[in-house]
Amino acid sequence: MKIKFLLLFSAVAISITACAQKDNSIEKAETTIEHEMVVEGLEIAWGMTFLPDGSMLITEKSGEIIHFKDGQKQQVTGGPEVYARGQGGLLDIILHPDYEQNGWIYMTYASSEGEGEGGNTAVMRAKLDGTTLTNQEVLYKATPNTTKGQHFGSRMVFDNDGYLYFSIGDRGETYTNPQDITKDGGKVYRINEDGSIPEDNPFVNEPNAKTAIYSYGHRNPQGMILHPETGEVWVHEHGPQGGDEINIIKKGANYGWADVTYGENYGGGAISDETNRDDVEDPIHYWNPSIAPSGFAYVTSEKYPSLKNNLLVGALKFQYVEHVVIDGTEVIRREKLLEDVGRIRDIVQAPDGDIYVSIETVGIARLVEKETTNTEE
- Read off φ and ψ for residue 311, nearest 5 degrees: -105, 150
CA dist 313 → 92, 337, 346, 375 (Å): 16, 10, 8, 32
Please give the Cα distance from 57 to 112 (Å, whole number): 24
Determine the Cα–Cα distance for residues 137 and 114; give it in Å rounded to an integer.
Answer: 15
Q: Is 35 a catalytic residue?
A: no
Buried b (16+ CB within 10 A) or exposed e, 115-152: eeebbbbbbbbbbbeeeebeeeeebbbbebbbebbbbb
Burial of 354 (0-12, 13-18, 19+ CB in 10 A): middle
Instruction: Name the residue among 100, 71, 94, 40 with its Cα closest to residue 296.
Output: 94
Query: Pick the catalytic residue: 35, 67, 96, 151?
Result: 151
Q: How far apart are CA 105 and CA 94, in angstroms?
A: 6
User: In the Cβ-directed half-sphere of 76, how many Cα atoms lie within 13 Å?
Assistant: 23
> Looking at the annotation, which residues are catalytic?
151
